[in-house]
């Protein structure tokens, strides 16, 4: 039985076993998918039983691979925020795999083996980001996520998909090389290290306007966080199959972005440095603008996946705004929202795919009366929507509560207003779908159709994640207690 440190390295590599099994069983789809389920389930079990207990005891399991330069090792170290991200990525990989079986078969998608192989590599990238001990290690796995998800974005091979892939790769790799890499080199020059240090690696080592400039390089270099104007890659990537959209919006890609921003704020700068210098005030306004602007755009979108994409851009900036406010309550709220939004948003994307497979509908205007035909699917959508909006008894209510409390404690009343207005706007872009589904009459040709849900594996996952939204409400205190270790000196 490996100890927690060894289990950390093993967890990062474990998803690649899924890649190998997919390659071996590429012509036997039942074995291929069974292998993926077993690998994803065993990964989550290992994270929960071998790594989580050590972190709950206050430990920080560490595994060093090699030292590239003095002060620049490739290394893993698990702290509370990374633990939360790892639990999300490994846990939701299971339900996304189940969903992919129903969707990929039901939609008769080509290149399914390549899909599962790239998905496994993306989870390895997510775990590497979650457990990174320093910015060098995080950067390596951050780029690994980008490269491994590019074939997923271009999965259909159409001109539209290829164009989206160019935008995806251009924005994400362009910003990380131009800005994020520069920020890392600058940090190494100042501190002689890129380690994540409780209290902040740069505390006492940098001051004045340089703090804000360096923070800007980190934030805009992390385009996966989708802070405007570096957000176009995300709606462009909606051309991909819906399980990929779920991966992008809930499991790995965007969560790697906001996780990186939060981790940089806490462990590279330190909340005291940002509070004392006011270096993150500009980021509050940039994130606040993104929250509101993306919500307004979402209301105007008729395509359901496009509407959900702009919703994601808005909700991601909730987390970035919480990080920018930089106090214990807002950082805790940001960490909680990573988890709460993951469950709510993956539910909504699962439903969008189920509607496509089961009813061949992609536009909000087409959904009149669909709740009578697909009641389980649309009830899951209702629960996921209410969680994203932030109503109890659903998990999103707790994360938004702490984010708003953090803004109020910092005296940022305008940002409290941003959170409140955005919640109202989210009602405006999410609830009309529910209203059309349950309150309007279906078209005459569908009125006598009866209940005809999508395939079982397209319906079960959104039901499970919707239940997860409820469970998170009642077990939010466990996440809160775990995250208290983030800002501990």
Sign of the CA dihedral 366, 371, 373, 374?
positive
The number of angstroms, rounded, from the C-alpha of 381 to the middle of its chain's C-alpha atoms is 18
Task: Give the pLDDT confidence score for residue 357 in this predicted structure.
Answer: 87
Q: Give Dmax over CA atoms of the chain in angstroms.
A: 71
pLDDT in tens, the chain (489 residues): 778 899 999 999 999 998 888 888 877 878 888 888 999 999 999 999 999 999 999 899 999 998 887 878 999 999 999 999 999 999 999 999 998 888 777 666 677 788 888 889 999 999 999 999 999 999 999 999 999 988 888 877 788 888 988 998 899 999 999 999 999 999 999 998 999 999 999 988 888 889 999 999 999 999 999 899 998 888 888 777 777 777 766 778 889 999 999 999 999 999 999 999 999 999 999 999 999 999 999 999 999 999 999 999 999 999 999 999 999 999 999 999 999 999 999 999 999 989 988 888 989 999 999 998 999 999 999 999 999 999 999 999 999 999 999 999 999 999 999 999 999 999 999 999 999 999 988 887 776 666 788 889 889 999 999 999 999 999 999 999 999 888 765
Q: What pLDDT score does 26 carry?
A: 78
Buried b (16+ CB within 10 A) or exposed e, 397-422: bbbbbbbbbbbbebebeebbebbeeb
pLDDT for the residue numbered 488 = 62
| 74 sits in which H/E element | strand 72-77
d(CA 428, CA 269): 37
Nearest 5°: the CA angle 371, 372, 375 is 55
Going by C-alpha positions, the residue among 366, 464, 345, 458 that lies closest to residue 109 is 458
Computed over its alpha carbons, how large is the radius of gyration of the chain? 21
pTM over 0.75: yes
Nearest alpha-carbon partner for 145 in 162, 163, 121? 121
Spatial separation of the C-alpha atoms in residues 351 and 347, rounded to whole Å: 6
Q: How far apart are CA 299 and CA 426, in angstroms?
A: 8
Q: In whole angstroms, what is the distance from residue 36 CA to residue 27 CA?
A: 14
**Quick one: CA dihedral 180, 289, 364, 97, positive or negative?**
positive
**CA atoms within 13 Å, Cβ hemisphere of 16:** 11
Q: Which residue stretches of 132-228 are H helix? A: 135-153, 159-175, 181-191, 209-221
Token readout for 81 is 């925020």
Contact criterion met (CB below 8 Å) for 305 and 362: yes
């Amino acid at each position: 039985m490996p100890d927690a440190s060894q289990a950390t390295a093993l967890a990062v590599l474990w998803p690649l076993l899924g890649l190998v099994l997919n390659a071996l069983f590429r012509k036997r789809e039942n074995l291929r998918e069974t292998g993926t389920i077993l690998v994803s389930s065993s990964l989550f079990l290992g994270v929960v039983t071998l790594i989580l207990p050590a972190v709950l005891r206050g430990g920080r399991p560490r595994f060093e691979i090699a030292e590239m330069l003095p002060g620049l090792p490739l290394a893993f170290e698990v702290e509370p925020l990374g633990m939360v991200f790892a639990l999300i990525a490994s846990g939701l990989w299971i339900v996304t795999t189940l969903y992919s079986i129903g969707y990929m078969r039901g939609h008769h998608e080509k290149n399914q083996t390549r899909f599962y192989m790239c998905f496994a590599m993306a989870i390895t990238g997510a775990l590497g980001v979650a457990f990174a001990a320093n910015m060098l290690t995080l950067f390596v796995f951050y780029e690994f996520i980008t490269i491994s998800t590019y074939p997923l974005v271009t999965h259909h091979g159409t001109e539209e998909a290829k164009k989206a892939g160019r935008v995806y790769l251009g924005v994400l790799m362009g910003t990380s090389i131009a800005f994020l890499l520069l920020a890392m080199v600058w940090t190494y020059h100042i501190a002689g290290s890129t380690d994540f240090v409780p209290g902040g690696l740069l505390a006492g080592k940098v001051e004045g306007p340089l703090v804000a400039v360096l923070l800007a390089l980190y934030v805009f270099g992390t385009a996966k966080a989708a802070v405007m104007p570096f957000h176009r890659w995300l709606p462009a990537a909606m051309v991909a199959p819906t399980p990929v959209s779920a991966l992008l919006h809930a499991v790995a890609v965007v969560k790697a972005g906001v996780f990186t921003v939060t981790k940089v704020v806490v462990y590279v700068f330190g909340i005291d440095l940002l509070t004392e210098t006011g270096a993150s005030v500009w980021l509050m306004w940039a994130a606040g603008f993104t929250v509101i602007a993306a919500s307004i755009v979402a209301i105007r979108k008729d395509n359901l996946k496009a509407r959900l994409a702009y919703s994601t851009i808005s909700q991601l900036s909730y987390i970035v705004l919480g990080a920018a406010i930089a106090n214990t309550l807002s950082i805790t709220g940001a960490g909680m929202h990573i988890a709460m939004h993951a469950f709510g948003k993956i539910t909504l994307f699962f439903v969008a795919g189920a509607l496509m497979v089961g009813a061949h509908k992609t536009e909000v205007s087409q959904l009149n009366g669909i709740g009578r035909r697909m009641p389980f699917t649309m009830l899951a959508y209702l629960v996921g929507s209410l969680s994203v909006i932030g109503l109890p008894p659903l998990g999103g209510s707790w994360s938004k509560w702490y984010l708003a409390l953090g803004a109020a404690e910092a005296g940022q009343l305008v940002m409290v207003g941003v959170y409140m207005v955005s919640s109202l706007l989210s009602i405006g872009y999410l609830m009309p779908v529910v209203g059309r589904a349950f309150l309007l009459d279906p078209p005459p040709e569908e009125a006598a159709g009866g209940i005809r849900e999508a395939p079982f594996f397209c319906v079960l996952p959104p039901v499970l994640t919707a239940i997860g939204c409820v469970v998170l409400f009642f077990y939010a205190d466990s996440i809160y207690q775990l995250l208290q270790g983030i800002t501990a000196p």
